[in-house]
Amino acid sequence: MKDTGNAAKQLLDLAYAPEAEAYLDELEASGQFYVGVDAEIVEARQVSETLPSNDYSFVRGSGSVSVQDWWTTGRVVMRVGAGIGPDDLSLARVNESLVLRTQDGLDRVTLENYLGLIPDASTLRILFSDGQEWSGGELLSRIASWLQEVAPPAPNH
């Protein structure tokens, strides 16, 4: 019986022709081709960028909005419009939901059950019009309160 394990390894260890090696080096230097760990990093970034996302807008005059379909994709992006800066926005947890609201309380967005399913908020990015971004641990650290809404008592008959 022939030992094919060594033959396969030899096929994988073939050297490139010098001109091919130079061409690959040129492609790698120009950022068009990656090998080794760099290739894995680039591939992981490309995969995460191609995951479907839900992009929502939060602007002055939105009123009170409830988002329930955020879970249908891999990530959620909340784009905050001009006129709402990081100092104008507060975050709160209400039961299992994440609530974003303006300081004046006129506008708010509730991501229903978001923190119940994604407690580390790893799939959410909040992007402000000036380029600032909140995500992950920074986003969690900005949650000012945790409210537990209590159902009203049942009427006595």
The pLDDT tens digits of the residues spanning 16-55 come to: 677 777 776 776 666 665 656 666 666 666 555 555 567 8
In a domain, 153, yes or no: no
Q: Residues 100, 29: one domain?
A: no
Q: Residues 76, 90: one domain?
A: yes
Q: Residues 80, 20: one domain?
A: no
What's the Rg (C-alpha) of the chain? 25
In a domain, 2, yes or no: no
pTM of the model: 0.60
Q: Are 79 and 56 in contact (CB under 8 A)?
A: yes
- Structure letter (DSSP) for residue 32: S
| CA 127/CA 114 separation, integer angstroms | 18
In a domain, 4, yes or no: no
Model confidence over 142-156: pLDDT tens digits? 987 766 655 556 666
Q: Residues 108, 134: one domain?
A: yes
93: domain range? 53-147
* Number of domains into which the chain is organized: 2
Q: Residues 63, 136: one domain?
A: yes
What pLDDT, on the 0 to 100 scale, is given for residue 87? 92
